[in-house]
Amino acid sequence: MVQFFVNWYQRKFSDPHAVTLVVILITAFLCIYFLSNLLMPVYVALAIAFLLDLPVNKLTHLGFSRTGSVTIVVTTFAGISLVALLGLMPVIWQQGSHLFQEIPKMLSQGENYLLKLPETYPEIVQTSQIETFINLVKVKLLEWGEVIIKGSLNSISNLVALIIYLILVPLMVFFFLKDKAILLNSFTQFLPKERRLVKQVGSEMNQQMLNYIRGKVIEILIVGIITTLAFIFLGLQYAVLLGVLVGLSVLVPYVGATIVTIPVALVALFQWGIGPEFGYVMLAYGIIQALDGNLLVPILFSEAVNLHPVTIIIAVIFFGGLWGFWGVFFAIPLATLVKAVINAWPSSTEPITTSS
């Protein structure tokens, strides 16, 4: 058994390029895992800079200087983000507050409806079951309420952190883009010369990450805008809030669409009850989800590495548990990184002879 592991180690780690790749991956993982709270603005700035690198390169090819291209792109991005933030946040806050105030009324209506079920279906539903379910829901709502109160108490510190993000992140994005070549050269000086596998994996991941981030941002915008317009046209309450939730739900493949269906259905149900309007809303929502999964995603991610749905779900659970929102956002690229490392890893070296 010992000889088996020795042979396996010699096959997989006798190549110094493989050892370099493992060391870099472990170092990056440890830095992200243990320093994520401190360096999160840096990670956010890197992600945005990665996204904006393409338009900067296009402007540079058109004859603009690197500094001028970066200034134009970063200023445009910051302006659009600021307008969207100032335009959406008040509406989302207002609709969220109204929805929160309506929750007791919705719960009362739902409780009355559930209590009538034993009378309508006495052979299927028992009164004790309904009462147990209602008490369980009330307990969960109390727990969620405590979480919301704790979050509101930390709102001042969160506001300070947001202000820091709004100042530091654009500055870091600007310098990451402007001094890209200098920073990359400085970083590579600390790497060993045996980094063939690192270059191979890095080259593959560079295009994959660019395709994913760009495609995911476009998908969020398209799904969110179309859903909001559809809900407004159908007269659904809290249309902007629900549209934003539906747009953000595409961050978590398969799971996000399932979870966000609940608030959409509940709001429509309490607004109209079981009727034609409720059916129209759910039909429109289903059509949007179908078009997203069968038309939009294949177009936007046609160049991405194919991953099995089970692999994607496991990646979302694993990386989301490690790094929260950003772990969920980058779950697919990280899963693609793992796949790229496995594909690039040397399967064998020179035949190993063992003594009998």
3-state DSSP assignment of residue 206: helix
The pLDDT value recorded for residue 12 is 58
| pLDDT score at 296 | 83
In 10 A of CB 185, how many CB atoms?
10
Instruction: Tell which residue, 138, 76, 145, has the closest CA to residue 107.
Output: 138
Q: Chunk the chain into consecutive blocks of 10 residues (it has 356) and report each block's average pLDDT, rounded to whole numbers.
A: 61 67 80 76 84 88 90 90 80 82 78 76 76 78 66 56 78 91 81 74 74 82 93 92 90 79 88 87 92 81 64 80 74 78 62 42
- Contact present, 105 and 269 (Cβ < 8 Å): no
Which pLDDT belongs to residue 15? 64
pLDDT of the residue at 69: 92
Pairwise CA distance, residues 9 & 188, whole Å:
27
The helix (run of H) or strand (run of E) holding residue 276 is helix 276-291
Q: For 317-337, how does the pLDDT look when each residue is reduced to its tens digit (9 = 90+)? A: 888 777 776 677 777 777 877
The 10 Å Cβ neighbour count of residue 20 is 18
The rounded distance, in Å, linking the Cα atoms of 65 and 81 is 24
Amino acid 160: pLDDT: 67
Amino acid in the structure at residue 21: L
């079981």: which residue's tokens?
A: 274
Token digits for 111? 């409780």
pLDDT at 150: 61
Task: Supply the pTM of this predicted model.
Answer: 0.70
